[in-house]
A and B are shown apart, each in its own frame.
Chain A
Amino acid sequence: MSEPSKPSEPSEPSEPSEPSKSTEPYDTVFSLPAVDDDPDTEIGVLLMGFGPERLLAGLGVASGGPATDPASATMYVDQLRHDARDDHTFAAALAAGADRWRAARTGFAEVLAGPGERSAALRQQWAAATTAFAAARDLAPALRTGNDAERVYLVACWLRREEITRTVEEQCPT
């Protein structure tokens, strides 16, 4: 086996020169994420940054019925977080989400026991989790979902399963 090549020493900054005529077919300074991925990926990446209570409440709203697409479920949870509704509370949504998670956790344990594919790239992580979930849903009745919002929120919760389970146990004990 040959020695790995040494990284080149940093050189002194030199006078600015004309930019080289790159043969790269794309701009290597930065490239932006695609704009034509599945729209769920954009939402999924956002949900990956939410706190566990907000995810559970979204799951509760999605599985309970008032919102059936992930964006509407998220906006609905925003209303609940601001006490903007007389007919529904954040605590009730959280409790409904906890119930749904307890049921789903059993299904996940049956068919998705391992750590799953891990990626530092959020979009890849989301896409891998979505694919795994789609396969698992056919095998475990507890993972069957009634609408897109429930599916997307279940995937988001599964990606954060330890935090989600801890929150359920602490805030919504049976």
Chain B
Amino acid sequence: MTRFLPHPRLLDSPRHRDWPAFSAPQVPDGSPPPPTGADVVIVGAGPAGLAVAAALWHVGVRDVVIIDRDGAPVARFLGRVDRLNQRVLRSPYEHHPGVEGYRDCELRDFARMHWSLLTSVERREIRMSQAGHRSVVPVDVFDAYCRHTSVIHQVPQRLWLGEVGSVEPGADRVLVRGGDFTIEARHVVLCLGEERRDAPASWWSGDRPNAVGYWDEPVHPDAGHVAVVGAGLTAAHLIHNALDRGARVDWVLRKDTERYQCSDVNASFFRAEGRARFGGQARQVPWAERLALMSRERRASVMFEFQPLLTAAEANGRLTVHRGNGIRAVGDGHVELADGRRVTGDQVLLALGTTPSIGTGLLPEASVGARDGWPDLDERTLAYRHAPRVYAAGAAACMVLGPAARNIDGHRVATARIAGAIAAQVREGVAQRVRAL
């Protein structure tokens, strides 16, 4: 039996290595406004938006406009990853935004193509993946693969920098409005990702206290002692980074214990049988049952590779872990625990997870049909039930596809349904126009 032994060295992939800048097609300079009409507008060019754009290309839907607030594919995702100094993704090589079934280069083959650029540890991870074992993917590889996927599906030519302010569904069109543009689209796909979860209002009153920051904000480089609040991978990165620069860390865990896992969801949810627990053609699963499954199955966890590092740091006193304690309040450089103890630090860093963006604030509330924080989506197409020309990919689809919907692999499952539905309608629209002639 071959046993997988997670090792911290897997966390140390080089970042920003000299990847060959393979000749990319020229994109016109300047930033003209986006077109005023399109078959499809994709809002957001993160991993989900990229997957949707690639899939639409393959089903023949090419009149596509992508609006992204950073104006580049996967920019915010990689920006967050780099902010945390995260070097590997814990999603395996099988999970990527490329398209299956069209003989496109898959992520693992892309990495193998660039074998000479990989470290021996990274190469071994590929071998583990080839042998059917769990693997981690270097951020550098994922970054370059996303650029390649983007270029071959002509995403740069279809992508505009912009912030969408509203999405207004109509009977046969949807208006997408931003600061200086309005696009009339036949279909809109919302790939909005997730937003940082803020601290509960009860933790402080008024403005955020001094020396309290969130995980996606700069960390003070001179902080010699930090307190980290959170139970997930982001918290682990903050702790790792602080220990790395010689700081002392207090880790506040509201749960009884930390969880070390390969993934933040059970692997079955990446497969059809896991998704079936949330429903499908065979049976309808009651909402309450799905809600309970989500709360049970989606739990913060830290990837295995951190365990030796954190255990050693706790043993030698550089890391103090406060387990199973609620938080009463957070103030200037301190956290008050429910049992009355006070944890102090030069900086308090909050890593409380993320909240799926479900379309609220862009779509009319009636179109979102929000219930318990989730949108009302058609299971077959992932279209909003009350706005059938608008679709949701990514975390917003969790109540249909299960907790893995927010993972990179879940995007591909969502994408296949959405692209199929849109392609069928676009073809039908063309046929109707031909018949009318």
Contacts and interface: CB of A to CB of B under 8 A. Distances in A.
A76 B23 contact: yes
Contacts of B32: none
A30 B112 CA distance: 20
B20 A46 contact: no
Contacts of A39: 115-116
B20 A72 contact: yes
A35 interface: yes
B109 A46 contact: yes
Interface string B141-173: 000000010011110000000000000000000
B248 to A, nearest CB: 38
Contacts of A35: 120, 123-124, 127
B23 A66 contact: yes
Given A29-B2, A86-B25, A71 B120 contact: no
B20 A78 contact: no
A67 B105 CA distance: 17
Contact of A67 (B23, B127, B128, B148): B23
Grouping DSSP codes into helix (H, G, I), strand (E, B) and loop, the A interface class, with mixed when no group exceeds half, is: loop
A137 to B, nearest CB: 21
A84 B154 contact: yes
Contacts of B124: 32, 35
B131 interface: yes
Contacts of B374: none
A43 B113 CA distance: 5
Interface string B389-411: 00000000000000000000000
Interface string A43-78: 100100000000000000000001101111011101
Contacts of A71: 20, 22, 113-114
A32 to B, nearest CB: 4
A27 B128 CA distance: 14
Contact of A78 (B26, B123, B148): B148
A79 B113 contact: no
A78 B1 CA distance: 39
A33 B109 contact: no
Interface residues of B, number: 29
A15 interface: no
A76 B112 CA distance: 16
B22 A72 contact: yes
Contacts of B25: 79, 84-87
Nearest to B123: A35
B107 to A, nearest CB: 13
A78 B105 contact: yes
B127 A36 contact: no
Interface residues of A, number: 29
B278 interface: no
Contacts of A67: 22-23
Interface string A103-123: 000000000000000000000
Contacts of B130: 32
Scoring A36, A69, A76, A78 by chain B CB atoms within 10 A of each residue's CB, the highest score goes to A78
B57 interface: yes
B82 interface: no
Interface in B193-241: none
A74 B152 CA distance: 12
A29 B22 contact: no
A113 B112 CA distance: 32
Contacts of B22: 67, 71-72, 75-76
A84 B105 CA distance: 15
B104 A78 contact: yes
Contacts of A36: 120, 123
A32 B109 contact: no
A82 interface: yes
A43 B109 CA distance: 9
Given A36-B120, A69-B20, A75-B22, A29 B1 contact: yes
Contact of B151 (A46, A70, A84): A84
A67 B23 CA distance: 8
A79 B127 contact: no
Nearest to B19: A71
A33 B2 CA distance: 15
B131 A30 contact: yes
Contacts of B105: 74-75, 78
Contacts of A19: 1
Interface of A: 19, 27, 29-30, 32-33, 35-36, 39, 42-43, 46, 66-67, 69-72, 74-76, 78-79, 81-82, 84-87
Given A84-B25, A87-B26, 12 more contacts: A32-B124, A33-B127, A39-B115, A43-B113, A69-B20, A75-B22, A75-B105, A75-B148, A76-B23, A79-B25, A82-B154, A87-B25
14 contacts: A32-B124, A32-B127, A32-B128, A32-B130, A36-B123, A39-B115, A43-B112, A46-B113, A69-B20, A71-B22, A78-B104, A82-B152, A82-B154, A86-B25
